Structure 1
Amino acid sequence: MSLPGVCVVYLLRRGPGGTEVLLGDKRTGLGQGKVVGIGGKLDHGESAEEAAVREVEEEIGVRIEASALHLAGTIDYHFPTRPAWSQRSTVFVCRRFQGVPVETAEITPRWYALDAVPYPRMWDDASRWLPGVLRGGTVDARFTFGSDLSTVVLTAV
């Protein structure tokens, strides 16, 4: 069974204290109330790169080019008690973009220093792989969430 495709982009910039990552307070839909990366579902026939470019512009008003995306890996998310939430996420990092992030109905964007990423406010899996990706690494993992729909109960890396 193939999982529905989604993408997530972590924009990085040089801040006063070092590298910063753009995350957002999710205002609607899956993950509402959590701090998340910028991204969303792939439209039918759309590549992960095309979706990443579109989603970043739709969610925060920033323009990126597919050539600026660095593929950092893929993650399969399984929700046995809510199968409609299961998905395969393509993870990108991007250091070149145009524009200033703006709040939209979907997301309230905010820059965080890498040592101040609010992992307790993110999905449970993020602290297990995101620090490495933000420092230039890659991820290839599978996470299964428990019946509470928020706690990782099984990890395969």
Structure 2
Amino acid sequence: MSEQSTDPKAVVLALVLREIHGTQQVLLGRKLTGFGAGNVVAPGGKVEPGESARQAAARELAEETSLSTPAELLMHRATVLFRFPARPASDMDCEVFTAHEFSGTPRPSSELDARWYDVEDLPLDQMWQDADHWLPKIVHGEQFTATVVMAEDNLGVQRVEFNDWQQP
């Protein structure tokens, strides 16, 4: 089994964080259509031709939640390489960004019904099985590259490897 994908899709996630009454929250949403419908996910999607990952994250956030943030304010927090040995066409290289500054109010879109979740009570049991490995690390400020190798059923996790980024 090779973990080197020949043609992974470039995708992004945008995690908006806020503090309300001393409690940190993250914006996630129930996926309404497409791949992963029914799961709670972070806003995100594919990088379009001609746009940077940061620009794609800002665009996807606006399209899926109605929140806006300038792309330059998004902080790159992680690179997560998803590998599907049983279905290599599903491989993804995901750049994950966080935002602490935004404008607007979350509104449901055709793809996502977004709402705020307490960082200390993430809905991991309603998310893809890999999320519990990397999402808590990101919302707690860690920076890393992770390789997530999915199980043969394309749902479970076979293995996760982390390489922390060196802090300046």
TM-score, normalisation: structure 1: 0.95
How many residues are paired up? 157
Any residues of structure 2 matched to 1:3-152 within 5 Å, and which? 3-152=8-157
SS of residue in 2 equivalent to 1:84: helix
Give 2:106's aligned amino acid. Answer: P
Which of the residues 149, 154, 157 maps onto 2:159? 154
Task: Detail structure 1 runs of 4+ shifted over 4 Å in the superposition.
Answer: none
Contact 2:7–2:91 under 8 Å retained in 1 = no
SS of residue in 1 equivalent to 2:78: strand
Give 1:134's aligned amino acid. Answer: V
SS of residue in 1 equivalent to 2:160: strand
User: Percent identical across equivalent pairs?
Assistant: 36
Distance in 1 separating the partners of 2:73 and 2:21: 23
Deviations 1:64-100 (A, max 9, x none): 1012101101000011222222100000110001100
Deviation at 1:23, TM superposition (A): 0.3
Distance in 2 separating the partners of 1:17 and 1:109: 21
Deviation at 1:17, TM superposition (A): 4.6
Deviation at 1:34, TM superposition (A): 0.7
Contact 2:30–2:39 under 8 Å retained in 1 = yes
Contact 1:79–1:149 under 8 Å retained in 2 = yes
Contact 1:17–1:113 under 8 Å retained in 2 = no
TM-score, normalisation: structure 2: 0.89
Structure 1 partner of 2:165: none
Deviation at 1:2, TM superposition (A): 4.2
- Structure 2 stretches lacking a partner, 5+ long: 1-5, 163-168
- Structure 1 stretches lacking a partner, 5+ long: none
Distance in 2 separating the partners of 1:20 and 1:89: 22
